[in-house]
């Protein structure tokens, strides 16, 4: 079984590329989706987040208000670190379970670990055959983030600056998928990468 890591920066198009890999037959283990599930009401991570950040981060149904919590942590490095320290162990545990399941049920398949903080968390040093980076220049990243989330330049800049610079991530990636041009060019490059992985 081939295991590769997929990462990018906010608004670089990583989710789009991940879907393209899925369409080609890859098994996708999505860290964002897992993170969403482990912080649902009643889960251990949910309780720990509530204990630390207080009830004001909850919606009326007591689920976490992700947008509100995001605003807090994108502007406070210490609080972001706390949130990551709460959530990451639960995400890693679930990812390991899904990887084991893929090994047992999809032998010989190509598994893509779709992880936004792949490099920052040190996961890229693990079992992966390759690190794939979805790349666009930071200038375009800013433009797309403002358009996607309908936020101010200041808010978009703060969110981008809270992550490792996209150009720095290039130093850790064995494979780069440039998503700054047309969607067809991105798909062509993604298929090319998938076929290289499966050879």
Q: Note the pLDDT tens digit of each residue in 140-174.
A: 999 999 999 999 999 899 889 888 999 999 999 99
Q: Which domain holds residue 115?
A: 1-26+109-199
> Does residue 156 share a domain with residue 132?
yes
> Does residue 83 share a domain with residue 52?
yes
The values of phi and psi at residue 7, to 5°, are -145, 175
> Does residue 5 share a domain with residue 48?
no
* Inside any domain, residue 97: no
Q: Assign residue 172 the CATH number of its domain.
A: 3.40.50.300
* Inside any domain, residue 104: no
The CA distance from 49 to 195, in Å, is 41
Q: Tokens for 27?
A: 């098994």
CA atoms 54, 59, 65, 68: torsion sign = negative
Q: What is the mean pLDDT of residues 90-106?
A: 92
Q: What is the pTM of this model?
A: 0.89
Q: Say whether pLDDT at 127 is over 80.
A: no
> Does residue 194 share a domain with residue 113?
yes
Q: Into how many domains does the chain fold?
A: 2
Q: Residue 162's beta-bridge partner residues?
A: none
- 194 against 108, higher pLDDT: 194
> Does residue 113 share a domain with residue 178?
yes
> Does residue 190 share a domain with residue 119?
yes
54: left (phi over 0), alpha (psi -120 to 50) or beta: left
**pLDDT (tens digit per residue) in 55-95:** 999 999 999 999 899 889 988 889 999 999 999 999 999 99
**pLDDT (tens digit per residue) in 128-149:** 889 999 999 999 999 999 999 9
> Does residue 178 share a domain with residue 83?
no
The values of phi and psi at residue 90, to 5°, are -70, -40
> Does residue 189 share a domain with residue 124?
yes
* Inside any domain, residue 142: yes
* Inside any domain, residue 131: yes
> Does residue 61 share a domain with residue 7?
no
Task: Tell me the helices (H) and strands (E) count for the chain, helix number first.
Answer: 9, 5
């Amino acid at each position: 079984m081939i295991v590769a890591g997929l990462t990018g920066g906010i608004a670089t198009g990583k989710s789009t590329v991940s879907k393209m890999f899925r369409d080609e037959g890859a098994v996708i283990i999505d860290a964002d989706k897992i993170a969403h599930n482990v912080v649902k009401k009643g889960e251990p991570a949910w309780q720990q987040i509530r204990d630390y950040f207080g009830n004001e981060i909850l919606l009326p149904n007591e689920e976490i208000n992700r947008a509100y919590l995001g605003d807090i942590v994108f502007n406070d490095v210490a609080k972001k670190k706390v949130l990551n320290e709460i959530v990451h162990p639960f995400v890693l545990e679930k990812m390991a379970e899904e990887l084991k399941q893929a090994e047992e049920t999809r032998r010989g398949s190509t598994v893509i670990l779709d992880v936004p903080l792949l490099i920052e968390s040190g996961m890229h040093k693990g079992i992966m055959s390759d690190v794939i980076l979805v790349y666009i220049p930071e200038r375009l990243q800013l433009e797309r983030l403002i358009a996607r989330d309908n936020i101010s330049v200041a808010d978009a800049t703060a969110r981008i600056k809270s992550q490792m610079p996209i150009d720095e991530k290039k130093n850790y990636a064995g494979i780069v998928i440039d998503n700054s041009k047309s969607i067809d060019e991105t798909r062509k490059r993604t298929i090319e990468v998938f076929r290289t992985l499966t050879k």
